[in-house]
Amino acid sequence: MTGGASGLGFATAQKLIAQGAHVVIADLPSSAGDEQAKSLGDRARFVPADVTETEQMKAVFNAAEEMADLRACVHCAGRGGALRILDHEGNAGSLDHYEGLIRLNLVGSFNVLRLAAERFNRNEPIADERGVFILTASVAAWEGQIGQIPYASAKAGIVGMTIVAARDLAKRLIRVCTIAPGIFDTPILARLPQEVRDSLGASAPHPARLGQPPEFAALAAHIIENQMLNGETIRLDGAIRMQPR
């Protein structure tokens, strides 16, 4: 479980623990991952890791395999960051900033996917399956707002890799799906004034509110259980279509 110290990731960790799974939370050393893992009990561990660092992620999967067979990986780690193509003075936007967000959100996703698939491939099949991998995209993959160009690019890349990865790994009995959330009530949004949060929630047609992390977790758990879900990106957004700004 990457990005498992808060928000969507932690809610998913809670859901899987409740269903009897063992969970490794992978998040940055500066996160609350250790405290969150302890709150989940003996079937949870925290391993600090950057998803773009291969050796750190190998340590995460080693820890998971010490607890139980690695059969599922939910990848929630990532972040946004505003960038305009031209700034207010007409100067070109920062290429370093763009590349950094692409590296974390897209390259990091591929890194975790490839390393998890390697471990899944060693498993003996259970009910004709070795493992399932769940990526996290965003509605920004289709309707990125002004200033979201690196984030939208990365999330569109995740959507694009989903069906390719599922087809690539099908003969190895490994499934790949992606969840694309709309506007969810995460720690990032918690910093905003309540009236802003209410306005964001009201922009969804129905339900006209912010999504709740347990709703993301419920879908992730269902994908793990339902073998016919493969190669699919599922929008979880209350039918929202984001406006330009």
Per-residue pLDDT, averaged over 192-198, amounts to: 85
For 170, which DSSP code? G
Quote the pLDDT of residue 188: 76
pLDDT at 186 over 90: no
pLDDT tens-digit profile of 130-155? 999 999 999 999 999 999 999 999 99
Per the model's pLDDT, the better-predicted residue between 197 and 89 turns out to be: 89
d(CA 11, CA 217): 6
Half-sphere exposure of 198 (CA within 13 A, CB side): 3
**Cα 15-20-21 angle, rounded to 5 deg:** 75
Token pair 């960038």: residue: 83
Phi-psi region of 231 (alpha: psi -120 to 50; beta: other; left: phi over 0): left
Quote the pLDDT of residue 66: 97
* Low-confidence winner among 33-37, 88-92, 177-181, 239-243 (lowest mean pLDDT): 239-243
Tokens at residue 161, please?
Answer: 């890799």
pLDDT at 191 over 80: no
What per-residue string of b and e applies to 24-34 under the rule 16 or more CB within 10 Å gives b? bbbbeeebebb
Quote the pLDDT of residue 230: 98
What does the domain layout of the chain look like in residue ranges? Answer: 58-192+206-236
pLDDT tens-digit profile of 95-139? 999 999 999 999 999 999 999 999 999 999 999 999 999 999 999
d(CA 245, CA 237): 17
pLDDT tens-digit profile of 211-227? 999 999 999 999 999 99
Helix H segments across the chain?
A: 7-18, 33-40, 54-67, 95-102, 108-120, 140-143, 149-169, 187-190, 194-202, 213-225
Quote the pLDDT of residue 189: 80
Per-residue pLDDT, averaged over 10-23, amounts to: 98
CB proximity list for 118: less than 8 A, separation 6 or greater: none
Residues forming the active site? 151
Per-residue pLDDT, averaged over 154-183, amounts to: 98
Quote the pLDDT of residue 190: 78
Q: Which superfamily, per CATH, for 58-192+206-236?
A: NAD(P)-binding Rossmann-like Domain (3.40.50.720)
Quote the pLDDT of residue 148: 95
Share of the chain above pLDDT 90, in %: 92
Quote the pLDDT of residue 245: 85
